[in-house]
Amino acid sequence: MNLRRTRAIARKEFLHILRDARSLTMALALPFLMLLLFGYALSLDVDRIPVVVYDRDQTPQSRDLIHQFSGSRYFHIVDTVDAYPPIERSIDSNQCLVGLVIPRDYARNLKEGRPASVQLLIDGSDSNTAGIALGYADALVETYAAGLRDRARNRSGAAALNPPANAQIRVWYNSDLVSRNYIVPGLIAVILMIIASMLTSLTIAREWDNGTMEQLLSTPVRPAELVLGKLSAYFMLGIADMLISVAIGAFVFGVPLKGSVLLLFFASCMFLFGALCWGLMLSAIARTQLLAYQMGVTSSFLPAFLLSGFIYSVGNMPKAIQAVSYIVPARYFVTILKGIFLKGVGLNVLWLEMSFLSLYALAVFVLATRKMRQKVV
């Protein structure tokens, strides 16, 4: 391998990137746009659930229960009605998610020690949100009912019953349960995969379209030199995107960076190198920029978004899909990012994921070089 020829190819790609202002602007602006859109617009937090109340009892006891819902940060009472049809219309028009109905004999049953029922009408069109809302409502009503039982025993002079188990819950790594802390680190992997694969997937195809590939074939440049030379320019651009993404995540969104910055940089370099080699290999396979672009989007964005654990847990997917996700490099990089950002773990925990990234980068580099050799020979 000749360093001088590699440096010449790298200089040629640097000049091409600088002259193509639109591509350069897109590559640097994409991290801003994706992080701002996903960080602010995409939220998995379920709070301030809109509730419509139908209080048929109109007693202090029923108003006390309504106060429990209005005082919770998970619920927000948007309206009070006097019949069932307004609740149905509110749910149909997406004005509320939960309808709370308190029957007429609610207070009387409480005073007489009989079970007092409460009806919850929940919009199940979004099953995940409906399930979370149901869990919040169940927990609130159970806590309120336990308080009523304790007060009733105190009034009757009976001894208070201690619960058989007292669960003390402590949330580690994301104590505020903010979905932004979960989304932003994984989004860095998606951004790098898109930038790397989409930009490099056009390089060789562009040479064929512009008619300059024949000139490269007539030079003594070897396939490995051509691959490394072309990758070096885009590698620096990818590192800039990675630094921008980490800075926005840490300083704009306040995502905690508890682990080693050096390990984060090293893992990002390995992942970025493999993604760049993958895009270059696709570019060598395709002869047109359109086909190369379509192959890059299909093989980079979709797997990184759907099969990496970025948003959807891999453990909840069907077994066949889980098996496919093992060949998606973004899955290992997302695990590394969340481990470094949120948990602060190091190489002693993440060594397996780091090994997979290293093998992926090496394997794709060899494949890209061989594919380039077929084009050069």
Q: How far apart are CA 65 and CA 71, in angstroms?
A: 10
192 and 207 co-located in one domain = yes
264 and 344 co-located in one domain = yes
190 and 261 co-located in one domain = yes
pLDDT per residue over 117-152, tens digit each?
A: 899 999 988 777 888 888 888 888 888 888 877 776
Confidence of residue 215 (pLDDT cuts 50, 70, 90): low
39 and 59 co-located in one domain = no
The set of residues, in sequence order, having a beta carbon less than 8 Å from that of 244 and lying 6+ positions away, is 28, 31, 32
Strand partners, 52: 79, 99
Assigned domain for 119 exists? yes
Q: Up-side HSE of residue 327: CA atoms within 13 Å toward CB?
A: 8
148 and 273 co-located in one domain = no
Block residue for tokens 């790397």: 196
Q: Specify the pLDDT at position 216.
A: 64
The set of residues, in sequence order, having a beta carbon less than 8 Å from that of 143 and lying 6+ positions away, is none
95 and 67 co-located in one domain = yes
Token representation of residue 235: 């590698």
- Determine whether 302 is exposed, middle or buried from the number of CB atoms within 10 Å of its CB (0-12, 13-18, 19+): exposed
Assigned domain for 164 exists? no
Three-state helix/strand/coil letters over 313-375: CHHHCCHHHHHHHCCCHHHHHHHHHHHHHHHCCCHHHHHHHHHHHHHHHHHHHHHHHHHHHHH
Please provide the average confidence, as pLDDT, over all residues in the chain.
Answer: 82
229 and 304 co-located in one domain = yes
Q: Which domain holds residue 117?
A: 49-156
Assigned domain for 133 exists? yes
CA 242, 290, 301, 280 torsion: positive or negative?
negative
Q: Are strands 119-122 and 98-102 parallel, antiparallel or unpaired?
A: antiparallel
Assigned domain for 161 exists? no
Element (H, E) at 221: none
Assigned domain for 276 exists? yes
Q: How far apart are CA 125 and CA 140, in angstroms?
A: 23
Q: How far apart are CA 32 and CA 247, in angstroms?
A: 10
pLDDT per residue over 261-271, tens digit each?
A: 999 999 999 99
pLDDT per residue over 162-199, tens digit each?
A: 655 666 777 788 777 777 888 888 888 888 888 777 77
Q: Which of 212-226, 233-247, 265-279, 312-326 comes out lowest in average pLDDT?
A: 212-226
pLDDT per residue over 291-338, tens digit each?
A: 777 787 788 878 888 888 887 788 878 888 888 888 889 899 999 999
